[in-house]
């Protein structure tokens, strides 16, 4: 019997037009997009389906847009009655996982991630923070390198441990620039600056985390119906109190995605169902374990194919 994990993408997976085919063909999915528009008080679905790309890329729009698209596919997929043993999501995707596991209501989640996106954009003035993807570096030496640069008063930290050989660093613009310069000397293949609006998942995000904590205090969070693997510690959580605390810590802590995938495989998961826009997670999962089976649910056609494969 196959052991399934539902996994949900985070920022960077968005694309104008995502979910439109499902919106037009599935009543349950359409209801999700309509609920998002009503919860936010503006037509988010119009930005999702029609763009422009600049509007969709704004963090305060990207986050609720990806959540809405993932949950729309999830609702349509639920019709098949396939249940996972675990759920997990990459950064923002953790909110989709918590909606899937019944811990967060969708309307609350979409309003919360809209606020989260705003807080993250506002935490650090434009141009003062940065992120870069480092390819071909080992986690330990890269963390040491970041610590030495941070000790010079230019903070930079590991932000996303995505898969073997792919780690994102985040922090002050000066710190990230220094890291990009020095990682090659330390044996990395290359370092690529990322187009982002802030130094996400670094300690510079603590002001955003404090504001998010106030919002989350007002949100009903229930115990999850099945375990959700948290980004902060790559451990399964179900208790509402733990979920609330970890969502706050997640804003300024590294996303331990490689560890999450390894933990799920160690728990016997052999099938990952990636639900939402794109195929980013499929690539990261395959780079972590070549033998992992990943099924994508990101269009009406792939939804039907996934249901047929898993039924």
- Would you name the residues annotated as active-site residues? 91, 201
Paired tokens of 92: 């923002």
222, 103 Cβ separation under 8 angstroms: yes
267, 4 Cβ separation under 8 angstroms: no
Strands 228-229 and 236-237: antiparallel
Task: For 218-235, give one letter per residue: b (16+ CB within 10 A) or e.
Answer: eeebeebebbbbbbbbbe
**What whole-number distance in Å separates Cα of residue 169 and Cα of residue 117?**
19
Paired tokens of 291: 């033998």
Dihedral (CA of 212, 217, 219, 221) sign: positive
**What whole-number distance in Å separates Cα of residue 114 and Cα of residue 107?**
11
Paired tokens of 302: 């792939």
Following DSSP, what letter does each residue of 181-195 receive, concatenated? HHHHHTT-SEEEE--
Neighbours of 45 (CB within 10 A): 23
């Amino acid at each position: 019997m196959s052991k399934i994990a539902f996994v949900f993408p985070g920022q960077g997976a968005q694309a104008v037009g995502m979910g439109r085919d499902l919106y037009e063909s599935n009543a349950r999915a359409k209801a999700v997009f309509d609920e998002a528009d009503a919860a936010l008080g503006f037509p988010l679905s119009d930005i999702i389906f029609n763009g422009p790309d600049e509007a969709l890329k704004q963090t305060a729009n990207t986050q609720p847009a990806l959540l809405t698209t993932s949950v729309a596919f999830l609702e349509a997929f639920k019709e098949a009655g396939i249940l996972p043993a675990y759920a997990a999501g990459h950064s923002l995707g953790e909110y989709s996982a918590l909606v899937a596991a019944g811990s967060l209501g969708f309307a609350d989640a979409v309003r919360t991630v809209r606020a989260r996106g705003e807080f993250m954009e506002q935490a650090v003035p434009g141009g003062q923070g940065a992120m870069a993807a480092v390819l071909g570096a080992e986690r330990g030496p890269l963390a040491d390198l970041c610590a030495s640069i941070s000790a010079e008063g230019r903070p930079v930290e590991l932000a996303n441990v995505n898969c073997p050989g792919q780690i994102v660093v985040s922090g002050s613009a000066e710190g990230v620039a220094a890291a990009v310069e020095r990682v090659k000397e330390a044996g990395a293949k290359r370092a690529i600056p990322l187009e982002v609006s802030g130094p996400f998942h670094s300690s510079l995000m603590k002001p955003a985390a404090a504001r998010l904590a106030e919002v989350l205090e007002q949100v009903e969070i229930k115990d999850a119906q099945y375990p959700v693997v948290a980004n902060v510690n790559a451990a399964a959580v179900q208790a509402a109190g733990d979920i609330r605390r970890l969502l706050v810590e997640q804003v300024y802590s590294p996303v331990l995605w490689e560890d999450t995938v390894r933990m799920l495989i160690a728990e016997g998961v052999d099938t990952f169902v990636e639900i939402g826009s794109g195929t980013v997670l499929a690539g990261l999962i395959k780079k972590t374990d070549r033998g992992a089976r990943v099924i994508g649910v990101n269009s009406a056609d792939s939804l039907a194919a996934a249901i047929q494969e898993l039924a």
